[in-house]
Structure 1
Amino acid sequence: MTAPIAIIGTGIAGLSAAQALHAAGLEIQLFDKSRGSGGRMASKRTEVGTLDLGAQYFTARDRRFVDVVQQWLARGWVAEWSPNLYHSSNGQLSASPDEQVRWVGIPRMSAITRALLGALPVRFACRITEVFRGETHWSLQDADGEAYGPFSQVVIAAPAPQATALLAAAPKLASAAASVTMEPTWAVALSFDSPLDTKVDGCFIQDSPLDWLTRARSRPGRDGSLDTWVLHASSRWSKQHLDMDKEAVIETLYGAFAEVIGCAVPPPSFGLAHRWLYARPAAAHQWGALADADLGLYVCGDWCLSGRVEGAWLSGQEVARKLLEHRQ
């Protein structure tokens, strides 16, 4: 009996690979350090409802991904988001001419990964700290010292720094992953009892601690009685204030928001800050996926391509293609 394939990470990349391998008839076992799927598409339950603090939307440009998004649309997993989109530069708001089609998960971004996961076997709240190979098979060990295996192959679908730490058995793959710089982002959610008097649903921002903001209720399928906004700080500001107290982050980004939004902004009734340590790669790559097929060790993630949701999905498909090709 062939040993199953281990996949570490249940973000879009890991689940894309898992779906492709499962469809090919292979047995898989998923692991994730979090309590649920999604990675940077995970949603957070709060007293003001479930919030998307990571990816706010995604686009589809590659024909393969366009086709799969249409399948997601038909299944009710996603909807098109058509916001009143603006740019802000030097404190001046201007309507954006951008006509890019944008998609969101319904009713939250993590609905996509939950649907992709389906009934696939997964261990959540399990942080894998070591990946090691015996004579013929792979084994994993978690932070509590528990071992898992044997596995025929291992797919690591994690941000580059976390992947690097698991690649001791493949120095060339570890070196490639270690060469990738991942940038952080502070995310803040602010809720107001009364709707703010602005037409802005989303805004790209320059010359500010912020580089993005969005109105949660403008996105399809969202509910909630409060007017909730999600703010993303720029990578530069986030790096400079990486260890800032969360309350101070909320206060600073609230001030930046009030300067940008172009209307009166009362004190929020709710505020929350979350630090994404590995929010996005600093540069795009063209690897698709990393592989040592002879060893049976594979790596995928958005950082192997564009750094976008589409890149994560394509990377997962590529890692599955490489693995299946070697098994033939």
Structure 2
Amino acid sequence: MQTECSLIEIAIVGAGMAGLTCAQQLHQAGYDVVVFDKSRGVGGRMATRRAQGTWADHGLRYFEDSPEGDLTALLSLLRDRGLIHPWTDHVQELGPDGQLRPSRDRHPRYVAALGINSVAKFLATGLTLHREHRVSAIAPTPAGQWHLTFAPPTPDVQAPDPVLAKILVLAIPAAQALDLLAPVPQIPGESLAALEAVTFDPCMTVMAGYRPHPTLENLDWQAIALPQDPLLSWISLESSKRSLPAAPVLVLHSSPSFAAENFDAPNLTEAAHALLQRAASVLQISYWQQPDWLQVHRWRYAIPQQSHHDRALAATQPAPWICGGDWCGGEGLSSAYRSGFAMAHQVNQWLEGRPLKGEQAWMDLVSEKL
């Protein structure tokens, strides 16, 4: 059966920032790269939900640079090309006294005119990418390759054909990488222990749309952080990300504790309304409790709490594999970005050591798009 599978050079599982960065580096160096993602789209938490003629970013809230300037070049390129624009240089913060105050953390936050996911689509330009391909199992072959099998995307659809790959890149949360690697007896025990040590906080995101209302016309904030609230961690007026007038859209992020308690609740709508009621209470805007439409999304691996100390985790036994993501070397988008480059560098060393383009790769994408 395995001899009938198609053979690829590099299989990358996961099409978030880390996976796409790694894939572009290796693809533009001339390697045979195929990206597999379990979702219908690309981007991971660079996610945009479209509903009722509008949209909401329900994962990554905005783009921002790291203190070290890891994303400076990429953000400058995206801004110069009109893919992102400034949103706000500060957010409000709800204090323990219930009062809103400007956050001391002032720096540019950027958003995309068509939603954050449009940037992920740009980063995926030119890649061979298979969506709705959930890897169900991996196994080494006697020839030192990886055999990947996939789960059916839906119960009434046949599973995608298995593939063989010389090198496996797992650009997914550590727990998901562990699920795939742990059943393989030859995986080094210290690698499994390192994956087990990584922990994440969950999050529930509520997207709610409203009809225009006088209460909403004079709001003096775009987003509010709630670091001490038991239910909420974030409130954003999502419609403020667009320059043209739009129907109001609110996005709420739950606190980790609320998400943990309600993640598997049988009725997510009840949990969503609890978050809306909390937002209405703390902001004294009762109208928030009466949305025209409502959607909920759950992120099991939203925010790394205990990260891996290096930018990637790799081994050559029983065949070359490497893991990475926002849980490597820190947390957040910049960590995923650095991890993508680190994984590409290691894979390149395992192969032919070709010149990698670094951030010039994004400039070449612009030329390709044009």
Q: Is the 8 A contact 1:208 1:256 kept in 2?
A: no
Distance 2:323 2:93 in 1: 36
Distance 2:9 2:261 in 1: 43
The yes-or-no answer on 1:174 pairing with 2:174 is no
The yes-or-no answer on 1:302 pairing with 2:290 is no
RMSD over aligned Cα, in angstroms? 2.0
Matched with 2:23 is 18
- 1:101 is displaced (CA, Å) by 1.9
- 1:264 is displaced (CA, Å) by 4.5
Distance 2:19 2:123 in 1: 10
Distance 1:126 1:224 in 2: 38
The alignment's TM-score, normalised by the length of structure 1, stands at 0.93
Matched with 1:141 is 149
Structure with max Cα Rg: 2
Matched with 2:219 is 198
After superposition, give the CA deviation of every residue in 1:73-114 in whole Å (9 maximum; x if it has no partner).
Answer: 223222222166211123221222321222223321111110
The yes-or-no answer on 1:130 pairing with 2:137 is yes
Distance 1:108 1:57 in 2: 10
After superposition, give the CA deviation of every residue in 1:34-64 in whole Å (9 maximum; x if it has no partner).
Answer: 0000111121222242221111113212334
Matched with 1:248 is 270
* One-letter amino acid matched to 2:205: A
Distance 1:49 1:201 in 2: 17
The within-5 A match list for 1:256-271 is 256-265=278-287, 267-271=290-294
Query: Residue 173 and residue 146 in structure 1: after superposition, are their counterparts in 2 closer, same or farther (change >3 A)?
Result: farther
The within-5 A match list for 1:41-52 is 41-52=46-57
Matched with 2:72 is 66
Q: Is the 8 A contact 1:5 1:154 kept in 2?
A: yes
- 1:220 is displaced (CA, Å) by 4.3
Q: Secondary structure at the match of 1:302?
A: coil
Gaps of 5+ in 2: 1-6, 153-158, 354-370
* One-letter amino acid matched to 1:27: D
Deviates more, 1:174-183 or 1:124-133: 174-183
The yes-or-no answer on 1:87 pairing with 2:81 is no
Deviates more, 1:126-135 or 1:80-89: 80-89
The yes-or-no answer on 1:286 pairing with 2:292 is no
* One-letter amino acid matched to 2:167: Q
Q: Secondary structure at the match of 2:127?
A: coil
Q: Is the 8 A contact 2:89 2:108 kept in 1?
A: no
Matched with 2:248 is 227
Distance 2:230 2:220 in 1: 20
Percent identity reads 29
- 1:243 is displaced (CA, Å) by 2.0
Distance 2:225 2:36 in 1: 35
The yes-or-no answer on 1:162 pairing with 2:162 is no
Q: Is the 8 A contact 1:131 1:166 kept in 2?
A: yes
Query: Residue 215 and residue 323 in structure 1: after superposition, are their counterparts in 2 closer, same or farther (change >3 A)?
Result: same
- 1:246 is displaced (CA, Å) by 1.3
Aligned residues, how many?
326
- 1:277 is displaced (CA, Å) by 1.1
Which of 329, 338, 345 lines up with 1:321 in the alignment?
345
Q: Is the 8 A contact 2:230 2:257 kept in 1?
A: no
